[in-house]
Amino acid sequence: MQEPDVVVAGAGHNSLIAAAYLAVAGLRVTVLEARDVIGGNTVTEELTLPGYLHDSCSSAHVLIQSNPLMRNNELRLDRYGLRYVFTDPPLVMPFPDGASITMWRDRDRTASELERFSPGDAKSYLNLLTEWDELKAHHGFLSNSPPSASTVDSDVGRRYARLNARSAKEVIFDRFEDPHVRSLLMWLAFATIQDPERPGTGILPMSVTAGRQEFGWATPIGGSGMLPQALRQLIEDNGGSIVTGSPVTEITVTKGRASGVATADGTRYPARRAVLSTIHAALLPEVLPEGSLPASFVSRVRSWKPGLTLFAVHLALRSKPRFKTDGGLRGSVAGAIGSSDGLLAQIEAHRSGLTDERDPWVLVVNPCEVDPARAPNGGATLKLLTIAPRSLDGADWTTEKHRFATKLVELAASRMDFEEDDILALTPESPIDLEERNPHNLWGSCHGGELSAEQSGVNRPAPGYSTYRMPVDGLYQTGATTHPGGSVSGRPGRNAARVLLADLGLDPDLVVV
Ligand SMILES: Cc1cc2nc3c(=O)[nH]c(=O)nc-3n(C[C@H](O)[C@H](O)[C@H](O)COP(=O)(O)OP(=O)(O)OC[C@H]3O[C@@H](n4cnc5c(N)ncnc54)[C@H](O)[C@@H]3O)c2cc1C
């Protein structure tokens, strides 16, 4: 068999996107995945009962819609059955006092909802979106290319930097006054699981809100796993191969250059031109020969901060549930629960090793609203997502996960129209379970680790190595531990592919199917 040009370690959506661009450019790629299924955190599985298809991790593919991969349909993944619904409404938020806010894709219609609480807030909402219209091209430029130490010295660049230096909470509390509206904006700003009180999160109230306004709760028909499945077909059609059940345990280095990998069963996969890794950056010292990484890199990644960790509950329901609104029951793929004060208290509890069911931030995902084939006999799948610490203070996840899941289900049922009898099966997943599912969710982190100043931009994954080129020649890194971080954005994947292609003397702009 001919040796691959590039061996890829890990088959998350980012590394598959990178592999797809490389394969389309004519390079021979082999992808090795530890699990028996590809996709990492973009995967759809039967987690409760036969026939009930759950997105084990991610559901919303919003960020990837503004990646040129999708925006310009560069890889034409629709040919392989990848199809999105831009849901309308994007989101329903029922409050405990019986009030509710429905976000519609028509921004004026959303503003009318907010006007019922505060006319000033309705105006501020439209202003926020208009401001983002002016900043979003700059955001796209920063995200869809490797980070650069020099910030762009333009009026828009300076405005963006000033805004981003603030915290999401400051931006929201300065502009909005009503507690319901503040809760909606805080809930949205937390969608990428970054502490909204941390400076450096100031753009999130705009970027996340505008993304949902434009693309709804962008839902892949068939489930999150349809993205990696489409990429797999494209890679194979272009001569590449994907091997599952093959954890990479070693990246080999020959004469100072990454020369291939070895898997747990001892099989060696030589690479003619490069190795591309999506092994968590903090684990690179474990798989590379000792001494091949500079001490500064090793000490930086060894002190990696995972950030806030996630907890999920998957339910199989007898029928499709709806949300309670002040205008009656409403169907929606996504529902929001939790006040701004509740979220801040929950983050505080998380830091103390405690779960918090008093007034938690909860995302409810109800995909059968637009994709009924994910459950048999008119049933539905439902996911509840919140944060919880990986290490509990005075408790054990084996018992706590069932108790905490029950509390979250009760809370969701109080804002929806399903009852206990409608629940056919339930599977809770603690941060430990999420880590066991995917070694890239290191220390329970599901977004590649905190996006603090020391772990983002030119510092991600380590200062001096943010352009996807690792300290060993021929070794490249992609995935959530690289710029611009986690979520289903595909940006680390496309960016890394472009850098690697250019290094191999190929023009990335010519790689379009
Ligand atoms: C419960 C949950 C809900 C989420 N919801 C959303 C959402 O709705 N929207 C959103 O945008 N984001 C969401 N996220 C975050 C998002 O899913 C991730 O940030 C993103 O999918 C990470 O993609 P990735 O390509 O970087 O890597 P991953 O998806 O983490 O994939 C990495 C792959 O590499 C493999 N691997 C690792 N080490 C090795 C090795 N040594 N050898 C071989 N293979 C290896 C892993 O098995 C895995 O398949 C969620 C995450 C979780 C956990």
Residue-level pLDDT at 446? 86
Cβ–ligand 1 distance for 487 under 6 Å, the answer yes
Closest approach atom of ligand 1 to CA 310: 1
Whose tokens are 């490069």? That residue is 274
The two three-digit tokens of residue 320, written as one number: 């499709």
Cβ–ligand 1 distance for 386 under 6 Å, the answer no
Burial 343-359 (b: 16+ CB within 10 A, else e): bbbbbebbeeebbbbeb
Cβ–ligand 1 distance for 485 under 6 Å, the answer no
Cβ–ligand 1 distance for 192 under 6 Å, the answer no
CB of 333 within 8 A of CB of 105?
A: no
Distance 446 CA to ligand 1 centre (A): 7
Q: pLDDT tens across 387-424, in order? A: 999 999 999 999 999 999 999 999 999 999 999 999 99
Closest approach atom of ligand 1 to CA 312: 1
Cβ–ligand 1 distance for 34 under 6 Å, the answer yes
Cβ–ligand 1 distance for 59 under 6 Å, the answer yes
Handedness of CA 451, 457, 460, 462 (dihedral sign): negative
Share of the chain above pLDDT 70, in %: 99
Closest approach atom of ligand 1 to CA 478: 26
Residue-level pLDDT at 393? 96
Specify the residue with its C-alpha closest to ligand 1, atom 4. Answer: 58
Residue-level pLDDT at 126? 98
Distance 129 CA to ligand 1 centre (A): 30
Whose tokens are 């991790």? That residue is 57
Q: pLDDT tens across 172-213, in order? A: 999 999 999 999 999 999 999 999 999 999 999 999 999 999
Specify the residue with its C-alpha closest to ligand 1, atom 36. Answer: 10
Share of the chain above pLDDT 90, in %: 96
Cβ–ligand 1 distance for 288 under 6 Å, the answer no
Whose tokens are 């408790």? That residue is 395
Residue-level pLDDT at 151? 64
Distance 185 CA to ligand 1 centre (A): 26
Best mutation site among 58, 363, 481 for ligand 1, i.e. most ligand atoms within 8 A of its Cβ?
58
Which of 250-254, 383-387, 449-453, 484-488 has the weakest average pLDDT?
Answer: 449-453
The secondary structure of 133-177 as a DSSP string is HHHHHHHHHHHSS---SSPP-SHHHHHHHHHHTS-HHHHHHHH--
Closest approach atom of ligand 1 to CA 15: 25
Residue-level pLDDT at 239? 97
243 three-state secondary structure: strand
Cβ–ligand 1 distance for 32 under 6 Å, the answer yes
Q: Name the pairing type of β-strands 274-277 and 475-477.
A: parallel
pLDDT (average), residues 74-92:
98
Distance 416 CA to ligand 1 centre (A): 29
Cβ–ligand 1 distance for 7 under 6 Å, the answer no
Sorting pLDDT into bands at 50, 70 and 90, what band is 512?
A: confident
The two three-digit tokens of residue 89, written as one number: 């409404």
**Distance from C-alpha of 39 to C-alpha of 226, rounded to nearest angstrom:** 9
Specify the residue with its C-alpha closest to ligand 1, atom 45. Answer: 10
Cβ–ligand 1 distance for 275 under 6 Å, the answer no
Distance 28 CA to ligand 1 centre (A): 24
**Distance from C-alpha of 112 to C-alpha of 246, rounded to nearest angstrom:** 53
Taking 70 as the threshold, does the pLDDT of residue 97 lie above it?
Answer: yes
